[in-house]
A and B are shown apart, each in its own frame.
Chain A
């Protein structure tokens, strides 16, 4: 039941809509099937096999609408959820921003599904984890990790003839390796659509190397440093910036708001090495070709050579502003450069190599000022060489300011955010004047 084919989803949604008495009705189905293993102290701590399917129905009468969700699929439940959304919609006050539901549309078939990932079982997961544990046991370190695979689908149909379907797979793996004394910690994270690309052994070896290299960290004075951010570190920091919404910018409450009114569309906001775009057909980071708003997802450049190129407009706001609707990003790819991580280190007179960042939170949304800490491998670089591990720093920095201080970019790689687990294509980067504000004793 959890993963319906296009035809099965279409049939079920048709049945749901057949119960509708509202002026407009939209039904959306989503399902997920998969499992996970969590391990710590070199043994499995929790593991599960989970499947869920849900249905959401939105009914509308003119400018009044409401939705209701359910995870039961007998005929009575389907009718009940439709009635409930209708009752709620009739009670709802008018929303002047409600747009009519979209009519028929066609979308290209996405490349988000991989049968090998979909076929994973508790045993294949256990095998992948066993490979990771072999590495840490041999290295005399303790591993804590997480492996999760999922197959998901979503389908939307409305009473005006719109239908769209997508199915995808994902596997994520992360591991932290520590020594018994608590003086060493290393980390690696991977995410793929196709599980055959996942090598838990080599990822764990990297985490192990980082852990061993981090022993004996020394304290450096906080202050402004040139930093080299590995993709996992840069991804988590930049994730906070990937909202290119026109409305909040127009309203004066975004980093994309212009002093005196309006947005910063067309302005040079960052270094010209920065180009950020979305593309559902990126082979390393495929995404759905449509969104819940009924809008297509196509290749879209958001920041072009540092200039704000595109802002997103939902259908209501686009109409109000007299522009074409533009969906927000479904995936994010930041273009890279030709500088390898080794070359970045070699060209650094004095700087810090950052493996991972942690607990990033917004301090000031006007300038996207964020705070957070380094973690799991922070190293001092002097005269082109890694000299010694350093204690972790707290930083207070804005990704927008940081991308103005960009010195070099490497090749983008698929990285997962260590908090949201979303995947991005982000290059390693070298940045000057990055602000570290205090030291942390954490390992």
Chain B
């Protein structure tokens, strides 16, 4: 018997539920303990205590999420480390339905008594709210899976990698940028590990171990005489991977005007090329506003997909549940019911996918115990589906949830969150060079920049990191001050080609905000480079006195 199991079973309670330290902070003594997980037997006992109390207090349904969340951040600028931080959070969130209404309560008092008191509080919250009235919650049926588990398929746990190795990598990268003429350089590595245990009155006990990583840098180039500065970010993406993401691999590189990366990233190579690009960006000519054909790299297009396809196809937005904050959606149910709403051109095929390797949204089961999968959202340009959770599935005629429920922590209530939403590659062979060759007057945009979209997702404006002018099928140099504005439906209908699967890559957001109180989630969006004709480009240059 392990020490903490003994302490737990001896009834000492919360003070005894020893949790290991943050895995591998470089200390060999700490490391052995750090990679121990809380025994599932203990988690099951705690969960059952909560479920039993909830039922006894009158809940018709209850679920329990026991979460241990680890994070590590290493933040540097130029030749120094600004911060090394690590966080650990352990607690439980209990959600119930009582008198037809949801109630939720959370605590970090991890004893059977803590479970019972919190479950009772959740039932009290549900009953208080039921007095206000409204339609009773209708849950899609969900069979219990019994005791199951899932783990992100990582090769190297980022928390096992010594801090020194990470610091050395970042400072080495900063040195390359400084030597190449960067005025300032900031770099960081963030790593997250969610150890989540879900149990419900449906009979599921699901243990999951989820990993994410995000290395990045920003280079600033300042011209004090001219009083101007430019910044450029690295080409990495946040990923649902372990530290193996930082092991360069030639087969995971996409070459071109700059090198871009798939599921393995070469930080040192990238910071070298971006130092050169930053210098070019300061000298780049200001764009002439007007209509252009846009060639959008996956490192840029992911964000346009996220904002203009991902968010408007969230069923809770469509129904009005997000009206007070992020807004509603122009993709109303009548458009879906018509089976004939042309969201985009025939080249536009978009899927929801909770399983994709390397993606931020990949999990075995969502936060209400639903096994995850993949489905069409836009098929041959037509709106065919949304993203739903258990209490919404019946509204779109589904007899099961699509597994899109997530909470950022044990202390937050789970709700509908975007799965990975991705544009499928073109079915006929097409390279980026071939795509550019046919563009007469265009702009090739790489990397994501400024972004803004209205509360029903019609009108958007996007910037980028790098803008290359295309003249008569050739790249004619770098541009600056570029942003494009469009209407979502017009934009996706102007998509005339998508490159083939060889160019397919994932971009993503480590922190996508939604809800009240706002919660963060991590989500990826994949695509190959795509072409959009006749998009309105504005010049963003302004001056202050």
A contact set with B: CB distance below 8 Å:
1, 35-54, 66-72, 74-77, 80, 83-84, 87-88, 91-97, 122-123, 125-126, 129-130, 133, 142, 144-146, 148, 174-176, 178, 182, 185, 187, 251-253, 255, 257-261, 269, 358-369, 371-373, 375, 392, 394, 396, 398, 400-401, 404, 418, 421, 437-443
Contact = CB atoms under 8 A, between A and B. Distances in A.
Interface in B507-545: 515-518, 536, 538, 540-545
A91 to B, nearest CB: 5
Contacts of A182: 328, 332
B125 A51 contact: no
B438 interface: no
A261 B109 CA distance: 54
Q: Which 7 A-B pairs have the closest CB atoms?
A: A43-B134, A259-B227, A74-B15, A440-B459, A144-B323, A48-B104, A442-B456
A371 B131 contact: no
Given A43-B135, A69-B88, A71-B91, A251 B222 contact: yes
A80 to B, nearest CB: 6
Contacts of B21: 80, 83-84
B387 to A, nearest CB: 17
A17 to B, nearest CB: 19
A162 B27 CA distance: 30
A366 B81 contact: no
Interface of B: 14-19, 21-22, 25-27, 30, 80-91, 101-109, 121-122, 124-126, 128-129, 131-135, 162-164, 167, 171, 183-184, 220, 222-229, 231, 319-325, 327-328, 330, 332, 411-413, 415, 450-459, 461, 463, 481, 483, 485, 487, 515-518, 536, 538, 540-545
B321 A41 contact: yes
Contacts of A185: 323
Contact of A71 (B88, B121, B128, B536): B88
Contacts of B543: 367
Given A373-B452, A396-B538, A122 B183 contact: no
Query: Which has the most chain A C-beta neighbours within 10 Å: B87, B319, B332?
Result: B87
B129 A84 contact: no
Given A46-B104, A361-B452, A364-B541, A441 B171 contact: no
B454 A45 contact: no
Contact of B229 (A69, A146, A366, A439): A366
Nearest to A262: B224
Contacts of A76: 15, 18
Contacts of A443: 456
Contact of B104 (A41, A49, A366): A49
B320 A36 contact: no
Given A46-B413, A122-B129, A178 B542 contact: no
Contacts of B453: 359
Contact of A361 (B224, B324, B330, B451): B451
Contacts of B450: 361-363, 371
Given A68-B22, A92-B163, A375-B327, 9 more contacts: A87-B27, A126-B129, A130-B131, A144-B320, A359-B453, A359-B455, A364-B481, A400-B544, A440-B459
Nearest to A40: B321
B477 to A, nearest CB: 21
A1 B131 CA distance: 29
A398 B542 contact: yes
A93 B80 contact: yes
Contacts of A68: 22, 85-88
Nearest to B27: A87
A269 B454 contact: no
Contact of B323 (A40, A46, A367, A394): A40
A439 B105 contact: no
A253 B229 contact: yes
A360 B453 CA distance: 9
Given A44-B101, A84-B30, A373-B452, A93 B541 contact: no
A442 B173 CA distance: 44
21 contacts: A36-B517, A38-B324, A40-B322, A47-B129, A48-B122, A71-B90, A71-B108, A84-B21, A87-B25, A88-B26, A91-B84, A92-B84, A146-B516, A174-B516, A253-B220, A253-B222, A394-B461, A400-B544, A437-B485, A441-B459, A442-B459
A41 B22 contact: no
Query: Which has the most chain B C-beta neighbours within 10 Å: A70, A125, A187?
Result: A70
A84 B83 CA distance: 15
Contacts of B25: 84, 87-88, 91
A255 B91 contact: no
Contacts of A51: 106-107
A176 B163 contact: no
B26 A91 contact: yes
Contacts of B109: 1
Given A75-B15, A92-B167, A441-B456, A46 B415 contact: yes
B80 A97 contact: yes
B542 A367 contact: yes
Contacts of A80: 21
A364 B330 CA distance: 29
Given A1-B109, A43-B132, A93-B167, A375 B545 contact: no
Given A88-B25, A251-B222, A41 B133 contact: no
A144 B324 CA distance: 5
A294 B364 CA distance: 45
B134 A91 contact: no
Contacts of A126: 128-129, 131-132
B517 A130 contact: no
Given A71-B90, A361-B452, A88 B134 contact: no
Given A71-B89, A92-B84, A255 B544 contact: yes
Contact of B84 (A39, A88, A252, A373): A88
Contacts of B542: 364, 367, 369, 396, 398, 401
A175 B223 CA distance: 46
Nearest to B545: A404
B134 A44 contact: yes
A148 B516 contact: yes
A130 B287 CA distance: 53
Contacts of B85: 66-69
B324 A146 contact: yes
A64 to B, nearest CB: 9
Contacts of B163: 88, 91-92
A362 B452 CA distance: 9
A359 B135 contact: no
B121 A49 contact: yes
B132 A359 contact: no
Contacts of A41: 134, 319-321
Contacts of B105: 48-50
Nearest to A130: B132
Contacts of B103: 47-48
B80 A95 contact: yes
Contact of B102 (A44, A439, A440): A44
Nearest to A403: B544
A196 to B, nearest CB: 20
A59 to B, nearest CB: 11
Nearest to A359: B452
A175 B324 CA distance: 6
Nearest to A369: B542
A169 B128 CA distance: 23
Nearest to A439: B459
A145 B536 CA distance: 36
Contacts of B544: 255, 269, 367-368, 398, 400-401, 404
Contacts of A368: 544
Given A363-B463, A442-B327, A95 B82 contact: yes
Nearest to A74: B15
Nearest to B541: A364
A253 B184 contact: yes
Nearest to A360: B452
A402 to B, nearest CB: 10
B410 to A, nearest CB: 10
